[in-house]
Chains A and B, each alone.
Chain A
């Protein structure tokens, strides 16, 4: 199938269709389907081991499904080569994980500038952008700090800045507040959602925490490797929720 064939669900930016994925003999996804509209914030919820993180990894092109289809912006993501998927992840996607996965040897500003430098943005521009993101996320003056000197909440905000600085079309966040206390978690989510709405960034958020999921426009439940109610994308509902 051609990689420029249009997705079967018009209006959606990312879509998984009957995705199956196993690790050895262990099935993780057993025909999961979900679609996400452009600019929508969706929370993928489910019990431990339900397959929600695997679904995120398939939607983001990190895992290649055993069968089924993954569409992004009218293209079959699952048919792209590893090189092209890596390129897409670098240019169109941003990632935030439970533990920020910042580079500890680098400063806060270095961490935020890193993806921009990898995309060949001029050094001066990359660091100016990093500084503006630090300001935007309430981290003024912390650019020179090593990431190990930051609190958990500050480190997660740096991870958010690093993910958003290249202005991705989609932000994938896997338990982004999983290691934070309630207040820090609230601040990170407030900023994540606020910025995503300002920038029109689509967000795929994996969480087991209902209070975090409540920041999204809607939720999709994953149970035993399948997306259950309420699975169907409904942009109108999302608009009403805003």
Chain B
């Protein structure tokens, strides 16, 4: 998650105070990890320094910073560019799951037992995400679905690997 670009994106929607930006960020993107105020103001300060946002005059009122921030053309162009680019797909060619399976086979331990445990852990997390999806907002569901599809992909790999364990054990045994 790019915090500067996300805050910039929220500013493109409408000019905002640091406090309101933090609140919006926490509501939609924080997911249990609220953004510290210090990070919000430090980021806004950098965006202002780099000409991507400008800070208005301080307004009267309580709180540490009552400045309203406005996105600049440069900032808007950066948000536009960011939203137009695909995220680099991660190949996941060296995952911990993979390493544990291969090492278990090399050491003569039960890779099947490990895969069963991993499947249970994945299913438990999928149940939690499904409950969030069932009881939360549609934004919650969107994020939960993202997690669910990734966990499902892992589970498919786990099932396929479990079905291939004998052949894999033979190969690892020959090469080690």
Contacts and interface: CB of A to CB of B under 8 A. Distances in A.
Interface in B123-176: 123, 126-127, 129-131, 134, 148-149, 151-152, 155, 159, 163
B163 A47 contact: yes
Interface string A132-156: 0000000000000000000000000
Nearest to A46: B159
B80 interface: no
A211 B148 contact: yes
Contact of B151 (A210, A215, A217, A241): A210
Contacts of A110: none
Nearest to B123: A219
A146 B152 CA distance: 36
Contact of B129 (A193, A214, A219): A214
Contacts of A104: none
A29 to B, nearest CB: 19
Nearest to B160: A47
Given A47-B163, A190-B134, A193-B134, A211 B119 contact: no
Contacts of B163: 47
A193 B130 CA distance: 11
A228 B116 CA distance: 9
Contacts of A236: none
Contacts of A228: 116
A193 B133 CA distance: 13
A1 interface: no
A232 to B, nearest CB: 12
Nearest to B120: A230
B127 A210 contact: no
Interface string A200-240: 00000000001101111101010000001110000000000
B126 A221 contact: no
Contacts of A211: 126, 130, 148-149, 152
B120 A215 contact: no
Contacts of B131: 241
A214 B120 contact: no
Contacts of A221: 116, 119
A190 B136 CA distance: 13
Interface in A79-131: none
Contacts of B119: 221
B168 to A, nearest CB: 17
A213 B123 contact: yes
A213 B152 CA distance: 11
B126 A210 contact: yes
B155 A210 contact: yes
Contacts of B122: 210
B49 to A, nearest CB: 45
Contacts of B155: 210
Contacts of B127: 214-217, 241
Interface of B: 116-117, 119-120, 122-123, 126-127, 129-131, 134, 148-149, 151-152, 155, 159, 163
CB-CB nearest 10 A-B residue pairs? A214-B126, A214-B130, A229-B116, A210-B155, A214-B127, A210-B152, A219-B123, A230-B120, A211-B152, A215-B130
